[in-house]
Structure 1
Amino acid sequence: MSWRRPPGPPSVDANTPPVLVLAGPVAPDEVAQLGDNVQALLKATGTGVVVCDVGALRPVRLATLDLLARLQLAARRAGGRIRLRDPAPALRALLDLVGLPVELEGQPEQREPAPGVEEAVEPGDPPG
């Protein structure tokens, strides 16, 4: 039995977030267009998240943080968020240093506890 892919774009289920590949370096005049792209992807897919592949954004500079902050702002304005894929260790450290709230792929969302982690109950805590 053989199978052939139907013509047209590949089908993606509604839960698969779109991926925006950021090939560096990004020129300052490209930032606004990338923000528009993030908003368009969120509106077109309805997934609530756009995965930004940042593996090629090297070297890490302050302009990289500016770009990511603007993309996160654009996503929030559209009712979503961005998630980073393959950030360099230097980028992770810089994100932690400045406190930019960007989700990293492979990490649980802030609203959800990590799998298998249970909250400890202290003696005397009211039942909750």
Structure 2
Amino acid sequence: MTASFALGAEFTRADIPVVCASLIRLAATLGDGEIVCDVSAVTRPDVVTVEMLTRLALAARRAGGRLVFTGVSAELRQLMELLGLREVLLPGEG
């Protein structure tokens, strides 16, 4: 089973626990399914963005699901690379 959700263009570090809790509730309904997270609205990625994505991926794994990101901009991809998290957040991308 697959479910999806989208991140808004802007959020703060304080939003991270709230979004993670929503993802955990969604993952609980899926069991071991895949959750697709659209990040195309994120136009100015920063360290908080990567923290959000990392914590979401961890929350999904802990809940038994798998999180896949779509709509990843070149800027966000570069930031993930700079922080050493591209392989963690975008596994299988060359």
User: TM (normalized to structure 2)?
Assistant: 0.83
Q: Report the secondary structure of 1:18's partner residue.
A: strand
Q: Report the secondary structure of 1:34's partner residue.
A: helix
Q: Aligned-pair distance for 1:55?
A: 0.4
Query: For the pair shown, which has the larger CA radius of gyration, 1 or 2?
Result: 1
Alignment partner of 1:36 out of 17, 21, 26: 21
CA distance in 2, matches of 1:88, 1:22: 13
1:16-64 Cα offsets, whole Å, 9 max, x none, are x211110121122221111111111111122432111100112011110
- Asked if the contact 2:45/2:76 (under 8 Å) is kept, the reply is yes
User: TM (normalized to structure 1)?
Assistant: 0.63
Matched, 1:20 2:20: no
Letter in 2 for 1:87: V
1:55-97 Cα offsets, whole Å, 9 max, x none, are 0112011110111111111112112221111011011112223
CA distance in 2, matches of 1:74, 1:60: 20
CA distance in 1, matches of 2:53, 2:37: 9
Aligned position for 1:51: 36
If asked which structure has higher relative contact order (CA below 8 Å, sep 6+), I would say: 2
Please, which runs of 5 or more residues in structure 1 have no aligned partner? 1-13, 104-108, 111-128
Q: How many residues align?
A: 90
Aligned position for 1:3: none
Aligned position for 1:102: 89
Please, which runs of 5 or more residues in structure 2 have no aligned partner? none
1:63-102 alignment runs, 5 A limit: 63-100=48-85, 101-102=88-89
Q: Report the secondary structure of 2:41's partner residue.
A: coil
Is the helix fraction higher in 1 or 2?
2
What RMSD over aligned residues (CA atoms) do the two structures have, in Å?
Answer: 1.6
Is the strand fraction higher in 1 or 2?
2
CA distance in 2, matches of 1:61, 1:98: 11
